[in-house]
Amino acid sequence: MPVFDNNGAPISYIDEGEGDPILLIHGFASNKFVNWVYTGWSELLVKDGRRVIALDNRGHGESHKFYDAADYGAPVMAQDALNLLDHLGVGQVDILGYSMGTRIATFCALKRPELIRSLIFGGMGYGVVSGVGNPEPIIAGLLADKISEVSDRTGRAFRAFAEQTKSDRNALAACMGSVRKPISEQDVAQITQPVLIAVGSKDDVAGSPQRLADLMVQAEVLEITNRDHMTAVGDKIFKAGALEFLERFN
């Protein structure tokens, strides 16, 4: 896989296909393969005539690992993504993010609005503004010696996912422990590009997609029926809705 130096903190990425570029930003404890390749997203988008760029966020996949929480946070990770786009010489781009990737995509849009053509927010509704709960059980679950020692349901789910993705659990714990820079309703209202907010109907993490959509001038909601936060990402409803959305605004 190609690697971008990114000021001495290498970022691994894929760059496939030709056409309008779309940047894919994965969620916490995932990586570019688990979120986008194994689910069929990258192949689908390439076949749709798009240039697909997907990175491993810092601390994830094959990218550089940091073990200090101060080295993480969505604004920092958004700058990584923007640096990659500059490195590749990409002009205007669509962005598809999932969960943590949606927060990162939001900061990309706030930092460089002229670069972003449209946004797809997957797995995150009003949680972009309100946050998604206490990170401590997740950190404890990641750092426990054995998964059998993790009693908290959310902590156990993320520990299991981290093991499934063969992630560096210490790096993930540092990422989860980073200070979360607030995104206000006023910040979200500054996003004027077309936005699709796609959330599973059984997602109890994301927060209300409609409440988030109401803050923006060109936002719409796609309900991914009978899916929760962990199962919505590869759903056919999500994919079909995303393709239809991209075709309307490209």
Q: Is pLDDT of 224 > 90?
A: yes
Query: What distance in Å separates the CA atoms of residue 24 and residue 8, rounded to the nearest whole number?
Result: 22
Query: What distance in Å separates the CA atoms of residue 25 and residue 210, rounded to the nearest whole number?
Result: 22
Q: Is pLDDT of 250 > 90?
A: no
Query: What distance in Å separates the CA atoms of residue 183 and residue 208, rounded to the nearest whole number?
Result: 15
Percentage above 70 pLDDT, the chain: 100
Domain ranges of the chain: 3-130+182-248
Q: Is pLDDT of 5 > 80?
A: yes
Query: What distance in Å separates the CA atoms of residue 198 and residue 88, rounded to the nearest whole number?
Result: 28
Question: For residue 161, what are its two tokens?
Answer: 């996912």
Query: What distance in Å separates the CA atoms of residue 164 and residue 29, rounded to the nearest whole number?
Result: 9
Q: Is pLDDT of 133 > 90?
A: no
Which residues sit opposite 50 in a β-bridge? 20
CATH class held by domain 3-130+182-248: alpha beta
- In this structure, the strands spanning 116-122 and 93-98 are parallel
Q: Is pLDDT of 215 > 80?
A: yes
Mean pLDDT (whole number) for 94-122: 97
Question: For residue 15, what are its two tokens?
Answer: 């760059």
pLDDT band at 210 (very low <50, low <70, confident <90, very high): very high
Q: What is the pLDDT of residues 151-197, one digit of tens each?
A: 999 999 999 999 999 999 999 999 999 988 889 999 999 999 999 99
Q: What is the mean pLDDT of the chain?
A: 96
